[in-house]
Structure 1
């Protein structure tokens, strides 16, 4: 690449916590802010981001997001174009590639739900990545949250006790947001102002964490 790799990773220890959704949301938000973005899909079995981008292109949704599949960080390094931001969506289950991508990244986002079933493995992964060189890069995101303020507060307290940074905005679980992604959107393009506010709040918090 023509300049130092600018990489942000979304990683997780289990599927279903919104990792791919948030990666796509950040990529679109950064592109809308004028950055040249590459969305790198490392999950070759699911190809969630690649399939989503195909739907986005079919519907001519702007801005266009350069989305490609990669099987290794070495392949990504060979990418010739200059990008302001590379957003990496890793596999659903953390592995050696996850560790490698996290080490190379400037920010490592770990989405998690509010339940113990989500928090326990996510915090364990955060501790492991911190020991392996990602300490100071990690930021957790409460994702797919419901409307219970008590559950959100309990999850926030648990994360704070562990000493990991938590983004101030949560990614809400709403049926309309899933429909947006099914059709190539992210919520930022939604006609429904409530869905748009959720997407704008979460993407704004991520952009601030990445760009300061």
Structure 2
């Protein structure tokens, strides 16, 4: 049975696909067979990214395919399925969350990002998703330590775990993804190390949780 990690969001533009690619690359680098299940069938950002990656010959190889239902991807024979969900709270997001070993919810620092993601997490909780299977990640942060601390406090006061490692809005991350690489494959050691630290947190959290029953 595949491990399932879902990157979900109430809104677009908070880094859902960025995290899905990082997670996929991290496990693939450890020689896992990995596939990204792209539920954003209108944009297909992860499918296009994988196609670009393959065309450029980047290793390790990662598979990707568009999906519109959970039944489709649950039949896949991969070590890890990374779900890049739709950028809204629809029925597919709940179905995905119910089979996911971990739901990763990225958010920016602004209340316009924080509040919708907390509301989304609350919605998942109300539908039976255990709190421990939800992890918030601060993404595209600014240099303001105060803003980061306040955002982290807002999420924790709502009762949710927040990754200790956050990601800054860096051109290097954008350039890497534009070239079909993950954010741990930039030309800058410090950026790669930061991305690796976040990925390690996510991997450790998955390992600490009991597996979802088939």
TM-score category (smaller protein): over 0.9
- Give the Cα–Cα distance (whole angstroms) in 1 for the partners of residues 89 and 43 of structure 2: 15
TM (normalized to structure 1)? Answer: 0.94
- The alignment status of 1:54 with 2:51, answered yes or no, reads yes
Cα deviations across residues 78-115 of structure 1 (Å, max 9, x unaligned)? 32x2x221110000112000010001111111101111
Q: Give the distance between the partners of 1:48 and 1:72, measured in 2 at CA.
A: 17
What is the deviation of 1:33? 1.8
Does the aligned pair in 2 maintain the 1:7–1:88 contact within 8 Å?
yes
Task: Select which of 201, 204, 207 maps to 1:208.
Answer: 204
Please give the alpha-carbon distance, in whole angstroms, between the structure 1 residues aligned to 2:199 and 2:39.
21
- After superposition, give the CA deviation of every residue in 1:119-175 in whole Å (9 maximum; x if it has no partner): 010000001101111123111001111111110000111111111011111122101
Q: Note if 1:15 corresponds to 2:12.
A: yes
Which stretch of the first structure deviates more once superposed, 202-211 or 44-53?
A: 202-211
TM-score by length of structure 2 reads 0.93
Match of 2:177 in 1: 181
4+ residue segments displaced more than 2 Å:
none
| Separation (CA, whole Å) in 2 of partners of 1:188 and 1:140 | 19
What corresponds to 1:76 in structure 2? 73
Aligned pairs, how many? 207
For residue 97 of structure 1, what is the aligned residue in structure 2?
A: 92
Contact 1:172/1:198 (<8 A) preserved? no
Deviation at 1:198? 2.2
1:45 match: secondary structure: coil
8 Å CA contact 2:172, 2:187 repeated in 1: no
1:187 and 1:156 map into 2 onto residues whose CA distance is: 22
Q: How does 1:20-59 map to 2 (within 5 A)?
A: 20-59=17-56
Counterparts of 1:189 and 1:17, CA distance in 2: 20
Stretches of structure 2 that go unaligned for 5 or more consecutive residues are: 209-214
* Structural mapping, 1:155-194, within 5 Å: 155-194=151-190
Look up the SS of the partner of 2:37 in the other structure.
Answer: strand
- Partner Cα separation in structure 2 for residue 48 and residue 127 of structure 1: 27
Alpha-carbon separation, structure 2, partners of 1:198 and 1:5: 27
